[in-house]
Amino acid sequence: MSVPVFVIDDMTLDDIAEVQEVEQASFTAPWPANAFRHELLQNKNARYIVARDRGRIVGYAGLWNAVGEAHITTFAVHPDARRRGVGRRLLLRIFELTEAIAKEIGTSVALTLEVRISNLAAQRLYEHFGFRRAGIRRRYYSDNEEDALIMWTDTIDDPALRARVAKIRDKSDE
């Protein structure tokens, strides 16, 4: 079995069909293709990235730059590619983008997201990166009215968070 080589790129319009494959394999209420198209073309505060394994898109993530926060809007790894480091690589890039946002706007920025209460694997990944539980959004998910767990990090310039992410990055480069 060959070792995967994950490349993280900015998402383009040409990627949407493959992103939709990951989206549909990952979620019971997937975002439609036109939502990604709108985000890429119309939302100047959005950044979307994809993870490729030998050219095939196996994961993606979206980030909104809101005042004082970087909100992860969507995050998915194809079921066939899970537990191989794709999510870790995507989150490392999200942290890099958040650092760039903080420098650009000249203020400290924290990361936030919502995750299904039942998605324990994702919660463990986010906690590994320093996200903490901050609250619940009741009946947040429209497909089954499942609650969402709200998670936050410290600000991106926090020394402990920076050290944590640097350690994860160093291990990923081994």
Between CA 136 and CA 114 the distance in angstroms is 9
At 13, the amino acid letter reads L
Cβ-Cβ contacts under 8 Å for 56 (sequence gap 6 or more): 18
- Select which of 21, 39, 126, 127 is catalytic: 126
At 120, the amino acid letter reads L
CB 101 within 8 A of CB 70: yes
Let me know if 126 is a catalytic residue: yes
- Select which of 21, 114, 146, 174 is catalytic: 114
Active site positions, annotated: 114, 126
